[in-house]
Chain A
Amino acid sequence: MASPSTRIDDGRDVDSDNSGLMREKLSVLIVDDELLVRKVHEKLLSKLKLAKQVQTQTATNGKEALDLHLSGSSFDIILMDLQMPIMDGTEATKELRAMRVESMIVGVTSVDAGADKEAFMEAGLDKCLPKLLTADKIKSLVETLEKNK
């Protein structure tokens, strides 16, 4: 089983007019059993440079995501897939909320609307978006995070 991986981008190459207003740190956990999805989302987050320091970590299923939290990790945003082996997104989200995890948990799924998706939302998601996330959608999540600070 692949172990979670961490990547840090320190944002030193940012050439932005509003670098003074940029948030200091952003930590994101990407939970998805598909390597392709983890890779694309990780790259997108590192490229957008939405904070002076962007840290991404990945997990391949809900249980790995829980284990990270049990070992003391915390994240600003958790991107949670729905359909995963061992522990799916609905179960993982319920467990995280039961642990009083306050991160923004965003469901990211290509599952069509229906009972599974409703149960996923009711498990405690802040939002549910279709795969793959776009730059605009990710920026909007960070803006919401800032507003709710």
Chain B
Amino acid sequence: MDVAQLKRQLFAYTALLFHEGFLDEQFTQLQQLQDENNPDFVVEVVSLFFDDSERLLNELAKALDQQNIDFKKVDAHVHQLKGSSSSIGAQRVQRVCIAFRNYCQDKNVEGCLKCLQQVKHEFSLVKNKLETLFNLEKQILAAGGSPPT
């Protein structure tokens, strides 16, 4: 595939991610901060989100597996996950976190467990899609194209 085709594919794929609600305006803000001084800025920030989220999802699974669930602790983890997903524009992850927090406040175990599954699912989806997006960008650069703006 030539550079022009790859760029069209990238453009269409990015638009789809926004249209399907995986990403929001905050992701665009991050892209606008990337420049020749920091050409990998978006990848670096998103990698931090991936690492933080994986840690938090593990903590949440542990916390909800206890006999006496500490809902305050669960809520604190969800709050952090909501914050970092919002920071990179991972809108669908953020939305599940909002529902999750409501269940924490109601001390609703079933609701929390359901939300944990949903947030794991949404995280996995957005991670795959962002990795695909970054791969497309790499292919463009490897084919001699200019960095995406």
Contacts and interface: CB of A to CB of B under 8 A. Distances in A.
Q: Do A and B come from one complex?
A: yes
Interface of A: 34-37, 39-40, 43-44, 47, 110-111, 131-132, 134
A111 B76 CA distance: 10
Contact of A110 (B26, B45, B52, B86): B86
A132 B38 contact: no
Given A36-B48, A36-B52, A43 B33 contact: yes
25 contacts: A34-B52, A34-B83, A34-B84, A36-B45, A36-B49, A36-B84, A36-B87, A36-B88, A39-B44, A39-B45, A39-B48, A40-B87, A43-B33, A43-B41, A44-B33, A47-B33, A47-B35, A110-B79, A110-B83, A111-B79, A131-B86, A132-B29, A132-B86, A132-B87, A134-B29
Given A36-B88, A39-B48, A43-B33, 16 more contacts: A34-B83, A34-B84, A36-B45, A36-B49, A36-B87, A40-B30, A40-B45, A43-B38, A43-B41, A110-B83, A131-B83, A131-B86, A131-B87, A132-B26, A132-B29, A132-B87
A107 B93 CA distance: 25
Nearest to B35: A47
Contacts, number: 39
Interface residues of B, number: 20
Q: Is the interface of A mostly helix, strand, loop or mixed?
A: helix
B100 to A, nearest CB: 14
B87 to A, nearest CB: 5
Interface string B109-130: 0000000000000000000000
Contacts of B86: 110, 131-132
A43 B40 CA distance: 12
A118 to B, nearest CB: 18
Nearest to B41: A43
B82 interface: yes
